[in-house]
Amino acid sequence: MSTLSSVSIETGRRSYSGFGASVAALARREFRDALSSRWFILFTIAFAVLTIGVSFVSLSGVGSHGFSGFSKTSAGLLNLIMLIVPLMALIAGAGTIAGERERGTLVYLLSQPVSRTEVVLGKYVGLACALCCSLCLGFAVSAAVIAWRAGGVGVAAFSLLIATTCALALAMLAVGLLLSIISRRANVAVGLGLFVWLVAVFASDLGLMAGTVLFRLRVQDVFALAIVNPLQAFKMAVIVGMNASLDVLGPVGAYATQSFGSALPWMLWSVIVLWTVVPLSLGVVLFARKGSI
């Protein structure tokens, strides 16, 4: 009996080891492909230039250094991140599975000794690493310039912004990957990604204001609609993490602070995590179905 138990344990260990190795190999392949692609290079350069531009133009102070420091830079970058980062992640995720399906390479990939779950997770991990590298590179260039001109005041807030931005990118990447799985062609998946991006951006501010006026929503209803939007959850998480008051968001921010207090950061981060786990899990389940090539 003990021999059978030891054999089953060793088999389970080899199985888990093989699963992790396959995911890691696929992730490395996807990471290399992303690094060599034009979208990665262009988005990285554009993001770095825009972060530096926002630091110089929008956040210039009245002192001799011309910068307001990391804290105000973090606040000023919020709107830029809410526009650029979800678009980057959605397009990256939308083109992966659908692109391989359209090129005919997906059939070859699935003919290898890998499972469908390993393919999805490997592609997600590889793209996630590429996206985080792109974002961190852009932030690093901006941080180096700011530190050179204004010192290290507020660097903790800037570090929090980087971490939260990467979390938002991972959530939107999972949504993009789900769209890629359910689409037969890459241009359809990218089009759906752009539509999701437009809806999320519109619903984050203008949609909430319009809905409040048209339907006379209560502040509780507006907060509920805001928190389910990953972009709004990201904005509030950054503001709370910077120890700033949510009163800058109006009655909704004041209601959130008074009603949830110290539990609010956990709620906001939970929303971002759910936007990562749910689409990714759904994508794994859908892709694992037979005939989904």
Q: Any idea where the domains of the chain sit in the sequence?
A: 14-288
pLDDT at 27: 93
pLDDT at 135: 92
pLDDT at 87: 93
Contact 153, 53 (CB under 8 A): no
pLDDT at 79: 83
102: helix, strand or coil: helix
pLDDT at 220: 75
Q: Dihedral through CA 251, CA 256, CA 258, CA 261, nearest 10? A: -150
pLDDT digits (tens, 9 = 90+) for 255-285: 777 778 778 889 999 999 999 999 999 999 9
Residue 116 main-chain phi, psi, to 5 deg = -65, -35
Q: What does the block give as tokens for 67?
A: 């910068």
Q: At residue 183, what is the residue type?
A: S
pLDDT at 246: 67
Query: In angstroms, rounded to a whole number, what is the distance separating the alpha carbons of residues 264 and 60?
Result: 31
CA angle 90, 95, 101 (to 5 degrees): 145
> Which spans in 63-154 are helix H?
70-94, 96-103, 105-110, 116-150
Stretches in the chain below the pLDDT threshold 70: 1-17, 57-72, 149-154, 204-217, 243-250, 252, 290-293
